Amino acid sequence: MLEAAELECERGARTLFRGVSFVLRPGELLRVAGANGSGKTSLLRILCGLSRPSAGEVRWNGQPIAGIKEDYARELVYIGHAPAVKDDLTPRENLEISCRLAGRPASALALAAALERLRVPELPVRKLSQGQRRRAALARLLVSETPLWLLDEPFATLDAEGISLVDGLMGKQVDGGGAVVYTTHQEAGSRSTRVVDLGAGA
């Protein structure tokens, strides 16, 4: 479903990576590995269409994503470094808005159940800890039924229980015929995973 062809990424004068190619099929889990500064986040941003590769292209079901912007965006969930939750809203409001923005409004019941499952308290996000913010962001995974997940450091700032919970969610997504691309430093994840290694960094 997702295909990366000879991707190259330049930051300023230096080349972060070159010739990254892979094909991701339904039911596959792909881990992007590499040292700090090797371009893991850049690769994910290219995969979701936020930045353009300096060479090569990303294809979704055979079509270059540059040409199918919103249609492609509807198919994926991207959770970046920043948790993308507003401090002044509650986790519930945050989740509802992101579902609507993604074009997949969720029922009040589904929203409440997702936050309940991740044990996020219904307080303004301002009053939550980093880990709880992360959980509030990851709650999107429970309500969105998109085939592709792109997760940047999903395990960062989570406790052991949170890590196994997210690991379980990723497993369920893959078992259901979806696909996941994620970056991590830890060797977290119990499943068989393909790895794209970006090396030691420039």
Partner 1 sequence: MLALARTVVHRDLLLALRRRSDVGTALLFFVIVASLFPLGVGAEPNLLRAIAPGVIWVAALLSSMLSLGRLFAADYADGTLEQMLLAAAPLGVVVAAKTFAHWLVSGLPLVAIAPLIALQYDLAPGLYGVLALSLLLGTPVLSLIGAIGAALTLGLRGGGVLLALLVLPLYVPVLILGAGAVEMAGAGLDPEGELLLLGAALVVAAAFSPWAIAAALRISME
Q: What are the residues binding partner 1 (CB under 8 A)?
A: 48-52, 69-70, 73-74, 76, 78, 80-89, 93, 97-98, 100-104
- Alpha-carbon gap, residue 202 to 186, rounded angstroms: 21
For residue 192, the minimal CB distance to partner 1 (Å) is: 29
Write out the DSSP string of 90-152.
-HHHHHHHHHHHTT----HHHHHHHHHHTT--SS-GGGS-HHHHHHHHHTHHHH---SEEEEE
Amino acid sitting at position 97: I
Q: How many Å apart are CA 138 and CA 95, to the nearest integer?
A: 9
Q: Bridge partners of 77?
A: 149
Residue 29's H or E segment, with its range, is strand 29-33
Q: How far is the CB of 185 from partner 1 (least distance, A)?
A: 20
- State the nearest-atom distance from the C-beta of 106 to partner 1, in Å: 13
Q: How far is the CB of 190 from partner 1 (least distance, A)?
A: 28
Q: Which is nearer to partner 1, 80 or 131 (CB)?
A: 80
Nearer to partner 1, 89 or 188 (CB): 89
- DSSP H or E segment with residue 39: none
CA-based angle 165:43:180, to the nearest 5?
30
Cβ at position 71, least distance to partner 1 in Å: 9
**What's the min distance (Å) between Cβ of 105 and partner 1?**
8
CA 119 from centroid of its chain's CA atoms? 20
Name the residue nearer to partner 1 (CB basis): 72 or 155.
72
